[in-house]
Amino acid sequence: MRKIVAVFLIFFLASFVLSSTGQKEELKKGPVSIKAWTIGPGPVPVLRAKNLKTAGEELNADGLNLKLDVTFSTQKFGPYRTSFSLAYNSNSFPDILGEDQDIIPEYAEEGMILPLDKYVKAGTWKSNFKDFLPGMWNAVAWKGKIYGIPIEAVVNCIYYRKDVLRKLGMSDSDIAKAFSPDSGQFTLANLVKLAKKAKDAGLVEWGFTHRKGAGDYWFNTVMMFGGKFVDSVTGNMIIDTKALKKDFAFHKMLVDEGLLPKDMASWDWKVIHEYSVDGKTLFWIGGHTGQWKEYQQKAYSIKYGKVTEAYLEKNMGIAPFPGIDGPVTPVKVHAYTLVSKTKNPDLAFKLISKASSPELLARLSITTFRGPTRKSIMKLKDFKDQKYLTKVMQIMKYAKAFPKHPSLGKYKNMLFEAMVGIETGKLTVEQALKFMIAKAKSDIPGVIIR
């Protein structure tokens, strides 16, 4: 028995020494270059890049020899993606790419990013894998394979003005009840009623404002009306005529009632946020929870410039969308992905794995006020100290996954054009629907009209 134990120990020791020597040999070769691209938009999420740098420093301190080149882009997603396409076909491609979940299917279909299943489902990563919130892995998966590590959740929401509602005679408890998804009062019809009241009383210029240009907002309201985007059986995109018709009619009604400006889609961003932060609109429905931070960092307010957290706390609140089948909080995941041409996938994964630690992701959430992706983040003191993030977590209870499909970008553009047509009075609801169907048939292969 002693002999067996001795042989085992010698074998174990020898393999340990050999493997250490091997690692040292690898390190002697010099630093391994890892290039990463991350994107804002805007300066707030710069930590998406800084976290990678921190992770790299930690790995180097652990004995690795990485030479990191991290680029943070403040471009819009369109030019960022075009740059990536060009870089992918040249020798300047990054090893790591920070991206939103909606593009993952397109990149996956084109073979531009790597499936990460062998890493994230490995035994050593099991506890990490389980630590992610429900739905997070599904958000970055395509055709059963996982293509990214979710680092933050863009939580789309409605901002409402408490100060305006108080002027309408509502007490703080009335307001809380009106926006509590469990109260039974939180309905779209009630929001419209409140907007009309506030507008008629001259308390706001507009009842509702939304974002400009093609973006997430246009999906949010389709989701609010129970719309579906992708057929679960065939994987093809769906034109959900029932939901789209309701969505178009809703926006047309808002414009006709004078609650939404007909030229909303062409407003300047600065003016859009000024109206929200200065209370010139009752409901800002085109944003996400991160704007709570943005309003404290950028001087959007005419009256106050940058506003304080106390001001926001006193005058504004966040809520999910009052969907027809219950509250809806559309959540879009941002992830680190690995580019398929990388020569160092193992090291690149080590880096994104380290950069996705609960501590670093908590730092990201606290800075950007976007939602967390891991359960353990919520247990960290720094995270728990943020009162606002607790509210974000409350509306994340109603999280509904953002759609994903390789043709989603085309769908988004045509939906935006149709909605602008409706709001500017250039299209009726029927014409907009007809346009969506015809354009989808032309642009999206295999689209299902339902």
167-175 long-range contacts (CB < 8 A, ≥24 apart) are: 167/198, 167/201, 167/203, 168/194, 168/197, 168/198, 168/201, 168/203, 175/317
The rounded distance, in Å, linking the Cα atoms of 115 and 262 is 44
Give, for 377, the enclosing helix (H) or strand (E): none
Greatest CA span in the chain, whole angstroms? Answer: 92
CB of 53 to another protein, least distance (A): 28
Residues of the shown chain interacting with another protein in the complex, contacts defined by CB under 8 A: 78, 81-82, 85-86, 88-89, 106-107, 110-112, 213, 261-263, 265-268, 271, 409-410, 413, 417-418, 420-421, 423-424, 426-427, 435, 438-439, 441-443
CB of 21 to another protein, least distance (A): 41
Cβ(132)–Cβ(375) below 8 Å:
yes
Helix (H, G, I), strand (E, B) or coil at 326: strand
Cβ(59)–Cβ(68) below 8 Å:
no
Contacts of 344 (CB under 8 A, 6+ apart): 32, 34, 95
* Residue number, 132 or 218, with CB nearest to another protein: 218
CB of 82 to another protein, least distance (A): 6
Q: Both tokens of residue 163?
A: 């100060």
The label of the residue with tokens 């506003």 reads: 307
CB of 80 to another protein, least distance (A): 12
Residue 99 dihedral angles phi and psi, to the nearest 5°: -150, 160
* Residue number, 84 or 132, with CB nearest to another protein: 84
* Residue number, 81 or 199, with CB nearest to another protein: 81
**How many CB atoms neighbour CB 323 within 10 A?**
22
CB of 90 to another protein, least distance (A): 10
Residue 427 dihedral angles phi and psi, to the nearest 5°: -130, 145
* Residue number, 108 or 178, with CB nearest to another protein: 108
CB of 79 to another protein, least distance (A): 9
* Residue number, 17 or 302, with CB nearest to another protein: 302
CB of 408 to another protein, least distance (A): 11
CB of 399 to another protein, least distance (A): 28
* Residue number, 41 or 78, with CB nearest to another protein: 78
The rounded distance, in Å, linking the Cα atoms of 394 and 311 is 21
* DSSP label of 41: S
* Residue number, 175 or 427, with CB nearest to another protein: 427
* Residue number, 254 or 265, with CB nearest to another protein: 265
